[in-house]
Chain A
Amino acid sequence: MSFTFSRRHLIATAGAVLASVTLPKSALALSETKAKSMVDQLVGQINRVIDSGKSESAMYRDFEGIFRSYADTSYIAAYALGVDGRRATSSQKRAFTEAFTGYIARKYGKRFREFIGGRLEVEDVRQIKNFLEVRTTAYLRGESPFEVAFHVSDRTGKELFFNIYIEGVNMLLTERTEIGSLLDKRKGNIDQLISDLKTIG
């Protein structure tokens, strides 16, 4: 079966989510050189975490902190929940974002090990509609290089990434599909979904 496309997507997402953490606060005025050195710095950080010999749960905690600081978690969570978000109460929405953030951190954090020896290089930054795309190339051990793009906006008043594209596969759409499936399995019960998301991934 040709399921190999998925592996690339997953490991790249793990690396990419991590890489994005070093996007500087002034991403909109980002210079390529600056961004590149940031990403290089990040890859060093990832490798340090991996080499630290920390337990997996400690690694997920590190990653979760990184994700919380640099990702537009509200937007990613809202998009993943999709139309089902319309019937959610305010407290359900808040709890969902919280649980979802942990789920994402664990899910992609799991792929840390496959990123050992890899690196991301920033290629360019371009404006698309109302956001910025920072394109990078991922070089992973034993793989042909491939493109990873971070989509960054200042919607919240701060530059944060709200989506990642790896060879055309984007996090928002993929996670909307997965959250939709999880919700279907729970007959649409949002509270059940929130409580289960705390351990899934």
Chain B
Amino acid sequence: MDLSLRPLLVAALLGATGFLAGCATPTPEQKASREIFDPYESTNRSIHGFNVGLDKVLLRPAAKGYVAIVPPPMVDSFNYFAENLSMPGQMVDSLLQGKPKQAGIALARFVINSTVGFAGLSDPASNFEIPKVDTDFGETLHSWGLGEGAYIELPLYGPSTSRDAIGLLVDFVLNPLDYAKNQPVDNLGLYAQAVKRLGDRGRYSDAVDAILYESADSYAQARTIYMQNRRFKLEGDTPDLYITPDEISTEGF
């Protein structure tokens, strides 16, 4: 029986994004204020609780074990491997964003690291000073003018927005590698990403713990940090929106 993870995950993601797409959208005033639009907060919080619980009992201990047992260079290798597998998809995204140069870089990385880099297990492209590429279909949608929509926390995945969740789904379904003939393993990219996440969770353990277990409200902290970082990644510097040193009275402080 051909039991693939793909339809299951697509269904799950569709379920998650389906109820969001076309639902609440921020008003122009809300957009201008740059406040985070979170109309699904109670649902999001439930999912956050699930994610944190899963992290506590499974991901965190597994990640700690993984980085304790597997030597750091090998963890790096698996990360390079996962990154390399995402390059063809990122090439397509770059093209769709009208960035042919970045698409070329993604392709060059994929070709070099897949060959000289032992099937992507090392990163000689970086040694040749080929810049990193890090994009996704959420960014493509942004470049087409689609707003971020509502904040959502996805099961297993974590913080996202309705736009970025759709992007995630598209990247997943449209990964060109999955349409290549002679694939050694189904969903290889997906497993590689899962291993990469495990490695990242282990390597950055203290910092993730600080957010998830030491902050007063880990949901609110994860939400603000994700949104600030995501907006910066997509929009770059926005000096007009910087906080100035006269926005609040310091009298008495």
Interface residue ranges of B191-250 to A (CB < 8 Å): 197, 200-201, 203-204, 206-208, 210-212, 215-217, 220-222, 224-226, 228-233, 239, 242-250
Inter-chain contact A79/B157, CB cutoff 8 Å = no
Known: A1-B156, A11-B207. A162 touches B59 (CB 8 A): no
Inter-chain contact B226/A128, CB cutoff 8 Å = no
Out of B224, B233, B245, name the residue touching A75 (CB < 8 Å).
B245
CA distance in complex: A4, B196 (Å): 11
* A interface, over-half SS: helix
Residues of A near B226 (CB, < 8 A) are 2, 5
| Residues on B facing A (Cβ under 8 Å) | 51, 55, 59, 76, 132, 156-159, 197, 200-201, 203-204, 206-208, 210-212, 215-217, 220-222, 224-226, 228-233, 239, 242-253
Q: Tell whether A199 is near chain B: CB-to-CB under 8 Å.
A: no
Residues of B near A169 (CB, < 8 A) are 225, 228-229, 232
Residues of B near A2 (CB, < 8 A) are 157-159, 197, 226
Interface residue ranges of A142-179 to B (CB < 8 Å): 142, 144, 151, 153, 155, 162-163, 165, 167-170, 172-174, 177-178
CA distance in complex: A7, B233 (Å): 16
Residues of B near A81 (CB, < 8 A) are 253
* B interface, over-half SS: helix
Residues of B near A78 (CB, < 8 A) are 248-250, 253
Residues of A near B243 (CB, < 8 A) are 79, 151, 163, 170, 172-173
**A179-201 CB contact bits vs B (8 Å, 1 = yes)?**
01110110000000000000000
A contact residues, total (Cβ < 8 Å): 57
Question: Considering residues B212, B243, B247, which has the most beta carbons from chain A within 10 angstroms of its beta carbon?
Answer: B243
Known: A7-B204, A173-B228. A1 touches B245 (CB 8 A): no
Q: Tell whether A40 is near chain B: CB-to-CB under 8 Å.
A: no
Q: Tell whether A63 is near chain B: CB-to-CB under 8 Å.
A: no
Inter-chain contact B253/A181, CB cutoff 8 Å = no
> Measured between C-beta atoms, what is the minimum distance from A4 to chain B in Å?
5
